[in-house]
């Protein structure tokens, strides 16, 4: 249930609230009228809720109720049990979204995200379409499987995933733990090579990486993808369904920045995975991987438009 208490953490959105959501106590920001159409904005790695610092107010101003949660392992989100595995697999993160919606009384919402957040939104749209009114997904269809990830990629493509292999080692886990800010700043620069973010902008998000579970969740996420770490048995059925690459039927707008430096497919490669009303938009102007923070007006407009497809 909602604790009805605001965290001491302040963001551009105002105080962060806390609510019990399944295995988590989730920190989230909320803006906009309580009775407005509902939107859930989902961030990725290594970012936080401030990727939506300009998107959320824009949507709130348009009459939407906007919820922006910290993903497990970020910010004020905590596991309710010390014994719970610090699991970063895709099904677990998507179930977190459903648990948050249930706790907040959201029967359905527009789901929008990038990176890990886009994957979670894709999973919810595929497996629980009745909970997803519409979808906005940066870089398109991101549902994956351990079996699919066994196939080697061409060398240049493998090179772009260098950090995935670094994280597969104990040296990588220790290095990320020791240098999590330096590592994340490097990823920001590589993924968005034309984004001139300042120190204050980075520091505001980097505070979320001090979460005590952050390193464990990140390392498990990438090791699980390569089959180097086990998932939790209660998600096995969901993962089997996701491994079949289910088609997404809800109204969808996919987005891509014209200067995305992170690994991503061309839109034509995933357009066929969306069987409902569908549109793709490439956002020009040197926009990189963190599209909602780099092009907030375009992202907010896509959310509004997806709800009216």
Angle between helices 180-191 and 170-178 (to 10 degrees): 90
Decide: 10 and 95 in contact? Cβ < 8 Å: no
pTM surpassing 0.85?
Answer: yes
Structural tokens at position 32: 């906009």
Burial of 159 (C-beta count, 10 Å sphere; 0-12/13-18/19+) = exposed
Nearest Cα to Cα of residue 252 among 238, 270, 264: 270
The Cα–Cα gap between 126 and 163 comes to 28
Please provide the size of the chain in residues.
309
Strand partners, 113: 42, 137
The Cα–Cα gap between 53 and 238 comes to 32
Tens of each residue's pLDDT in the chain, 309 residues: 334 334 434 456 788 999 999 999 999 999 999 999 999 999 999 999 999 999 999 999 999 999 999 999 999 999 999 999 999 999 999 999 999 999 999 999 999 999 999 999 999 999 999 999 999 999 999 999 999 999 999 999 999 999 999 999 999 999 999 999 999 999 999 999 999 999 999 999 999 999 999 999 999 999 999 999 999 999 999 999 999 999 999 999 999 999 999 999 999 999 999 999 999 999 999 999 999 999 999 999 999 999 999
Nearest Cα to Cα of residue 248 among 94, 143, 113: 143
Structural tokens at position 2: 């909602």
């Amino acid at each position: 249930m909602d604790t009805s208490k605001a965290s001491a953490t302040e963001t551009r959105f105002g105080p962060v609230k806390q609510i019990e959501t399944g295995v988590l106590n989730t920190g989230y920001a909320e803006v906009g009228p309580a009775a407005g159409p509902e939107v859930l904005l989902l961030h990725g790695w290594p970012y936080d809720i401030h990727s939506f610092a300009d998107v959320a107010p824009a949507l709130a101003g348009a009459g939407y109720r906007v919820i922006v949660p910290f993903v497990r392992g970020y910010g004020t989100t905590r596991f309710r049990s010390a014994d719970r595995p610090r699991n970063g697999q895709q099904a677990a993160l998507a179930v977190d979204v459903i648990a948050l919606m249930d706790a907040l009384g959201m029967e359905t919402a527009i789901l929008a995200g990038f990176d890990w957040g886009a994957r979670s939104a894709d999973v919810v749209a595929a497996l629980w379409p009745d909970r997803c009114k519409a979808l906005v997904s940066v870089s398109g269809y991101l549902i994956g499987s351990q079996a699919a990830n066994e196939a080697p990629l061409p060398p240049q493509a493998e090179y772009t995933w260098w950090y995935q292999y670094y994280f597969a080692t104990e040296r990588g886990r220790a290095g990320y733990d020791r240098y999590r800010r330096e590592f994340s700043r490097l990823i920001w620069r590589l993924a968005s090579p034309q984004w001139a973010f300042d120190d204050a902008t980075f520091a505001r998000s980097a505070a979320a990486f001090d979460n005590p579970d952050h390193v464990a969740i990140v390392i498990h996420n990438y090791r699980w993808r390569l089959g180097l770490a086990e998932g939790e048995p209660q998600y096995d059925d969901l993962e089997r369904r996701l491994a079949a690459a289910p088609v997404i039927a809800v109204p969808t707008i996919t987005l891509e920045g014209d200067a995305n430096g992170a690994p991503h497919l061309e839109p034509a490669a995933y357009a066929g995975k969306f069987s409902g009303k569908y549109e793709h938009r490439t956002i020009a102007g040197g926009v990189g991987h963190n599209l909602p923070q780099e092009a907030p007006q375009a992202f907010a407009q896509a959310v509004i438009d997806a709800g009216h497809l």
